Amino acid sequence: MLDIGPIHRTEYELGGDRSEPVCVAEAPGRIHYMGEHGENGAGLFLSSAIDRTIRVSVSVRKDNSLRFFAADIGERKRTTLVNLKYKREDRWANYIKLAIHIFAELGYPVKGLNFTVSGDIPQQIGLASSTAIEVAAAVALKGYFKAPIQENELIRRLVKAQADFFGKESGPVDYLIAFSARKNHFLVVDEATLEVKRIKSPFSRYRFLLMDSRVPRLGVDEELQQRRLDTRKGLEMLSRKRQGASFREFASGDLLESMGSLPEEIRRRSLHVVEEIRRIGEMTEALKKAEYEEISRLIYHSHESLRDLYEVSCPEIDWLVKRAQETEGVLASRMTGLGFGGCTYTILRENAGEEYRRRLEDYERIFGFRPLVYEVRLAAGARVVQAKA
């Protein structure tokens, strides 16, 4: 990653502002290992932060302008507090503006500020890069203002700001991960209670590889929305519209017995959600006990469920998982993210990397896409990197 401090200093010296960055903060990307296609508003996730991050620096200006510089692409944006609103053409800068919106709403004296952003989180494959920009900017501003705001309150305001600023609802899960993550730990995140449990990783002798399939994800929003509607309808039918009911109340056996009258697609979607909840519970215990065979079984079953029941995989992703499964030294592989493309994660022994990559050489010839491989580690959460007294 670029050294953001000197870049920030040089960028704004050219504009006549010689001040050093007052605060530099970073926030990580994340992986969902299980649970990303669950009950809306009451999901259960097995996740971790990864050692790919976004850094944001902030310093004061002499005027009342808000300036933004994306160091990785050499792009600049600007606005003022009066005009602080979402603009489609501002793309990445909108996520910093969202964080400014929070502190302006809290009454902090937001006037002229310079921002620089840089990062190494792969884009558009479901690793929460936009959330990382928001969190890094919010932590940098918290440091700049020396704001005594607690993390849970900042998370609440980030969720609210998504609705206020972007006009869309957003859950708290990615924010909880960004703030709660610890190095070499998995997180079990309960969206319903906002509880986060940490599990020490048993994979000191394993590597984590992300494989970006490079499959274009076009026109899938309607498909994903339909699946969410199907699961909501399934819960309504199973619970007889009882208010406050949750899929967690149904053991998979009970659900199977109750499903005879459900339409087939709704039955499959609902079954995936319930079985994934069960798998996360079993995975929690398997990770604690370092039961590698059980971990492998659960991850592969989770992928099969996404492929066959929830139906959000695709031939390219299934091919990548199958080739990983056939490779000696690979523990497990699964798609991650929204599906219909995106990427897989693979857990493999230290010495299995060369054979794994060799087996993937046919991918481009068969599908016409050149995949990208990223090695990642389970990382800590958001933090202040540099603060000027």
Written as one letter, the residue type at 321 is V
Residues 6+ apart with CB under 8 A from 65: 78, 79, 80, 112
Distance CA 304, CA 379 (A): 28
Neighbour tally for 107: CB within 10 Å: 7
DSSP secondary structure letter of residue 34: E
- Exposure of 384 by Cβ count < 10 A (0-12 exposed, 13-18 middle, 19+ buried)? middle
Distance CA 183, CA 266 (A): 39
Cα dihedral across residues 365, 366, 370, 373: positive or negative:
negative
- Listing DSSP states for 80-149 in one string gives ESTT-S--GGGTTHHHHHHHHHHHHHTT----SEEEEEEE-PPSSSSS-HHHHHHHHHHHHHHHHHT---
Distance CA 40, CA 228 (A): 7
Please choose, from the candidates 111, 75, 107, the residue with its C-alpha nearest in 3D space to the C-alpha of residue 92.
Answer: 75
- 343-349 and 206-212 strand pairing: antiparallel
Residues assigned a catalytic role: 174
